[in-house]
Structure 1
Amino acid sequence: MMRQNFGINYNEKILFIRDTSFWNSRDQGLVLTDGGIYCIPDNDKPDEKIVLSWSIIQRVEYKDLVLYFWGYGDETDYCPIHISFFMKNEDNEKARRIGNSLARLFTQMAQCVEPEADPFNEAAEHYDQLITENKKEEAFQFAQSCKDREGLELFYMPVVKEYIIKGEYEKGISVSDEGLKKCDNDSPMAYMLYYAKYSAYEKLGNYTEARKLALSVSEGAAEDLCYPTSTIQIKGEASSDFKDYDQQYVSSYLEQPYNKRKVLLPVNKYTDLYQDYLSVIDIKELPNSGIVFPVGHPVACQLYVGHPYIKQKYLPFENYELELIEDKVREFCQLAQCLGAKEIHIECLNSSSSDRNTDTNQHISGEANYRFASASANNERSQSKHLIDEISQSINLHQTFIPNGQPHLPENLVWYPNEPSWQRLYHQRMQGSLLQHEERIETRKSRVLEGSELNSIEGEFKNLLLAANGKWSKKIEEKFELQENAVLAIHVQFASLEELTSAPSAATSTSSYTSEEKEYLSELQICLQENGEIPAGERRLLEKLRKHLQISEERALELENSLKPSLNENEKEYWNEYKLCLEDGGEISAGERRLLDKLRIRLQISEERAKEIEKMTNR
């Protein structure tokens, strides 16, 4: 039973047994054999068994009721076993005599056995010999065979190093990860593997991962820790490398995919970069990033959310949803206005204007995050309708316009390429049949952070804030509550295309012209007002003026066309006949008016439109 419970080989000779188990169950106590010492101090913890072979014991000493078994090599390494495992009912004097006797006896027994050779020393000597003989590939294969054996884990280092030398960087990273599982996170071996791993990431151009690991080494490695077979002190090397990686990361930050840079946290000092949902950048480095913040920002230890379609624009986390929805609504109104809107009315359908502090209860069912103690939870929490009320107050509006120019698509639209309903609106409007339109815009469709993602961001932000000696409060926690969806209804009434055909193009606004172009336009208008057409003599003088003002021929033609009325074929025919009538007598006689009205009706031109065409001739 002792052999079975203590795991003693049949070939070993049992010399002594001290059974301290309850009811003599033989599963606790101490056994001496000709192979070594076996001790189970607690039968409730059989995995904490002590096994000392005589070959690893150098000497044994007794002090204060304890026998100390010392091994070879490390003078700080010993195994203490209480005297009670060797004798019953001890008193101090009896224990002292027996303890000293046993210490001398066990020392003599240990010295009768040849010390075991250190497997690592033997393997290291063989590896060094192969390197000395320039058998590098054989040494590499030998290191491969050693690294997974107990006590030889340090051979991961030469394996990883060789993969990096060979340019097999992905393989080097993979083997580094295997080695990191075999050691403590803050051990010298771990920091050497981190060093090798970030070197491989640098070669692959992955400065994001290299930056994380370099910071870990520069912050945690011992000052005198050197890379194997070199004099490089990796702590100083990592500090220098981290500065380079950080500059590279910051300068190319906006080139990353949106999901990799969605949420940004400026900090005063780096403490940890192992976040999956947050990008952490030193606030002093942000001027080199190209990121654009609102006035008064950025602020350290405050979160910012990137605009989904303007990559350099970042908004404060607290009100990013309101900013995005306002931006989206403004663009839609701009689109509608350029398509000939006469009236736009916007209302928030689910606003609570009577009470800005109205609460709604939201029932949450599902997996609990780090806030909850249980694995799953059903919780009731009160959620403020803050966003809906803010939108209701800031976006509710009613505008009327006097449309001018042909319907057109404005330039530099941000949301339009990703809004199919807006694209359909444009095509319908350009076909001329659409006079009224209602568009509904929901905040949830512009939301870039959802519930589960918010929970993860909150957890990472909390850890970083506490690590930086910041305070976590209920007020901060409330910022991560998922806002209720707000729905905006936008009603648009368009002018008919017929109403817009005579209006000057929006592109002709003089606010967009240079002073030289304005002077040239003024002379063009005078020429056209006097004659309707530009005579040859005036054309020659205008050409000289154009050259003097340094306006290109193409631009001059654009300016001239912008002053000419935009007419369809029927309207041009009516206009030409009206001008001919004026040329004959300077006035329209009653007979000419009667015939012009008949022509107008035949050409399907309304009376109001005819008056507009005649005004073009008279101005």
Structure 2
Amino acid sequence: MATENYTMKEIIKEALVRFDLNRVIDQNDKAEVSKLFSIPVEQNILFFSKNEDYILVMTDFAIYYEPTINKILRTENLFSFILLWYEIESVSKKMQNDFLILTFSAQEKEFKIFLEPSLVSDLISYIITKKNNYYTTTNQDRQIVDRVKKFVLEKDYQEAKMLLNDVKIDKGTVLYQELLPLKIDIYKNSNNFYRVAELHQELKDFNRENVDTLSLCNREKQQNYNNYLKHFKELPLRERNIITVSNTDKLFKSEHITLLNINQLPEIHFPQYHPKVNQTYIAHPYKTDTYLPIENYDYELLNDRLYEFFYILQCLGATSITFETIEEENNEENNHSNTKVEAEIGRKRIGAKGDVEYDSVMNSSLRNYLKMERTQTFNPTKKPYIPNDLVWYPNEFSWQRLAQQRLNGNFLSHDEVLSSSQTQTLDRNEILDVNAELKMLFTSVKAGVHYQEEKEIKQNRDFSCRISVKFKPMNEFPEETEIIDITAEKVIQTPVQLPAPNDNEARYLEEIHFMLEDDGVIDDRERTILERFRTRYNITPERAQELEVQAIASTQLTPAEQEYLEEYKNSLQNGVISERERRLLNRLATALGIDEARVAELEEEV
């Protein structure tokens, strides 16, 4: 009996999370129903529902039901009862007079309860189905564990792993404790380091009183977690596509999500301001060592595509690029989407401040394009070419056709539409699954409750934009003897490397920073002045454009960088930084994740 009680608690708690019915029960209500049904103190009251027609209570031991005396219930001949979970064999339901009747079959008897139509009936059906699927007899479990042990001794790990799918043993039993070392051997053989670390965490729970075993489990858990981090990028993307970062050493892995400790992460990259505690991230589809916040990943990917597409257009000899957003009709099927985007690029705003969609876009890198001038002009001098340091181009067939037409003929203009929906890698059902798994995750580690209530992942409204480009005629470029290869080298994870600026370029960079200081945008008058500096410093238009991109990227400081600069300025109040202050600043930079090169850049700007 104890085995089943323990298991029922886990089954019911998981079901309550799944149906979003996991509410905190008031102590007064607990006292009331405990007295009404004489519920023993050792039972855990997990669910409570009360209205004018009935009182329903679920513990990890039984269902307690008390109907009120009214016309409907007297007609249906329903009565109060206590029904033990392990006695219930099946449940059926039917609608009658706008009410729901649940009929339980238990030990060749039937018990009926009256409910209002709600998720409670689905909850009860789910719990009973889960219970029936979960249990096998003790003899069957014993036989399966013995067979698993036999295959492990014979080093037939594949057969042993297949048998694990046939056994569901209560985690509180001695038999499960016997199974744990076998599971560790099986998963260790397949280099499933994260699962092995999880199993050592479970093994610790059986050895709290044994200091030596407890210490060994901790070492093995940490070693396997370290191995997991070391080989993280070698895993198939589907096994590491979504990660949640939290300040915990607990482990959790579901179908979609892997929990990682924010203080012990693999060698992966995050955008500015990240990673954050209790934040969920999804991998970039092509730069698979880069992870983006899941709530606006589609906007970040669109930003990435826009940046590369603009870069390609400039390399193909663009003389002007016009950028504008497209208003989309509301999609009725997308009823889980956020507020509609109302972009007005000419006035450099999108929606109204406070709108969900405004926040979603402005919290992504797309905000850089909302600040950009509607039309930008260029004067290309280098014959059109396709650069080698591209990420999206090898997978964008329309871009490849554009390049083919441009380089093989006198192609002078082109329109292209890019949208965030083109880069969405999660469909609606997957988002629902991820949300359900996140609830289970944060419940299991007892962290991030506030986070999960306020930041449920939603499918963002599609953000679309039209790019119109005009090219310089091919016959206006100087003749070159080199053969132009339109096939871009497929470089997956290599960022664009810009040459280090010389003295004149450093001066030009300083002027760009000055132009960006007030509003982060270079207007027409500032552009004219910059052009004079470019000519004076003998910088090519192409190199000037590269320096401008570099300057814009460096104008926005992360919160960590801002925090460091504030402390650095405080330390400079006396004009000199003492040796002790320098040590403190170095420790702060390390804690904030800022490397020495970036520290030097930040201090040089003060």
TM-score (norm: length of structure 2) = 0.50
Greater C-alpha Rg? 1
Which structure is higher in RCO with an 8 Å CA cutoff and minimum separation 6? 2
User: If the length of structure 1 is used for normalisation, what is the TM-score?
Assistant: 0.49
